[in-house]
Amino acid sequence: MSNYKPIGDYIQLVDERNKNLKIDTLLGLSINKVFIPSVANTVGTDMANYKIIRRNQFACSIMQVRRDKKIPVALLQEFDEAIISQAYPVFKVKDENELLPEYLMMWFSRAEFDREACFYAVGGVRGSLEWEDFCEMKLPIPNIETQREIVAEYNIVKNRMALNNQLIQKLEETAQSVYKQWFVEGIDLENLPEGWKVGIVSDLCSYSQKRIAIEELCLENYISTENMLQERGGVTIASNLPNASTTTSFEIGNILISNIRPYFKKVWLANFDGGCSNDVLCLVPKSNIPSLYLYQVVEKDDFFEYVMAGSKGTKMPRGDKKWIMDYPAVISDKELLKRFNKIATTIQYEIFIKKKENQKLTELKDLLLSKLATIETEKI
């Protein structure tokens, strides 16, 4: 640790307010260390008191660090300027010839950094981190050329992942477009084409009844509601495995839905085999139903609104399994389903390939982050 330097030696707080109300791009801060469009209700709020954050500046939340087991911190690169809640400390690198903001963000992205932040977080039940303790946390700072090389290598991986995500989005949009054109647009429920019918979700699928031993699982193929992402964002690696002998099994092509707080819209079309927790519903498409067809039915806002309408509990609503299976669904004739399946299978295969590549790239990205702690002494 002799070559490690305190973060506070290289950063300084910025407190610039939106006094003239010229900036109206309001951002929030995600626990996944990225900026997101704010969903806060700002009606009647004095926006003049919001903090301005500019390109290559950081914002962080040092509240609830121990509870969340992460410290939300992000580097602004998507906008030249924006505004953010006054509750977030905003800071910048003092001298970018000594420390690159992108290199510092890489350090913030390490799982080890979050664990260290949790260790220092003490402030009461929520486990807040004091700003002074944040500044005392240390990192290795190699010469600026080495930093540029490290950042460039990391960005190659990140950019490839971003490109894959764009391609995945385009493929998913193509499947959605075909589904809408063939099965939604111009369809009159009171005068359906021959061979069509109005059914329910249970006509399309059933819940998985298969079990898998926990010892056959690992963090990479265990899915719980905690490692499913909101707004159809997919899944991440689990933080732990359950204390049980077996759990529900899922297979490629099954559809997983978090049954806790359905309004988060956590739904995922599985691209690998694994196991899921009891709080995750595993839908197994019937033999004549394409996975992407079923996915189009259950990923819609209308579906999640329906699930919420039949949910139980207020603080942490849980969907009713029977109610979910009764969700209305239009079922076309077998020939059209076969045609859709042919197109959907090709699209689904391409999506799986890109997601598999991103899993490998994620492993490489994590490896690059872990290697930051082993930078050679002569490069410091």
Mean pLDDT, residues 30-36 taken together: 89
Is 339 a residue whose pLDDT tops 60?
Answer: yes
Mean pLDDT, residues 233-255 taken together: 92
Q: Is 197 in a helix, a strand, or coil? A: strand
Name the pLDDT band for 129 (thresholds 50, 70, 90): confident
Name the pLDDT band for 378 (thresholds 50, 70, 90): very low
Q: Do 4-141 and 197-331 agree at the fold level? A: yes
Is 122 a residue whose pLDDT tops 50?
Answer: yes
Mean pLDDT, residues 91-112 taken together: 96
Model confidence over 199-216: pLDDT tens digits? 999 999 999 999 999 999
Q: Is 34 in a helix, a strand, or coil? A: coil
Residue 356 is predicted with a pLDDT of 85
Percent of the chain beyond pLDDT 70?
A: 96
Model confidence over 247-259: pLDDT tens digits? 999 999 999 999 9
Name the pLDDT band for 344 (thresholds 50, 70, 90): confident
Mean pLDDT, residues 246-274 taken together: 95
CA 274, CA 56: separation in Å to the nearest integer? 40
Model confidence over 285-326: pLDDT tens digits? 998 898 989 999 999 999 999 999 999 988 889 999 999 999
Q: Is 95 in a helix, a strand, or coil? A: coil
**What is the CATH topology of the domain spanning 197-331?**
Adenine-n6-DNA-methyltransferase TaqI; Chain A, domain 2 (3.90.220)
CA 244, CA 214: separation in Å to the nearest integer? 7
Domains of the chain, by residue range, sit at 4-141, 197-331
Predicted TM-score of the model (pTM):
0.75
CA 18, CA 84: separation in Å to the nearest integer? 10
Is 69 a residue whose pLDDT tops 90?
Answer: no
234 vs 144, which has greater pLDDT?
Answer: 144
Q: Which CATH architecture has domain 4-141?
A: Alpha-Beta Complex (3.90)
Mean pLDDT, residues 160-180 taken together: 92
Please give the distance of CA 378 from its chain centroid, rounded to a whole number: 38
Residue 2 is predicted with a pLDDT of 57
CA torsion 156-158-159-165 (nearest 10°) is 150
Name the pLDDT band for 83 (thresholds 50, 70, 90): very high
Residue 377 is predicted with a pLDDT of 44
CA 258, CA 109: separation in Å to the nearest integer? 26
Mean pLDDT, residues 150-172 taken together: 94
Residue 190 is predicted with a pLDDT of 85
Is 123 a residue whose pLDDT tops 80?
Answer: no
Contact 230, 265 (CB under 8 A): yes
Is 277 a residue whose pLDDT tops 80?
Answer: yes
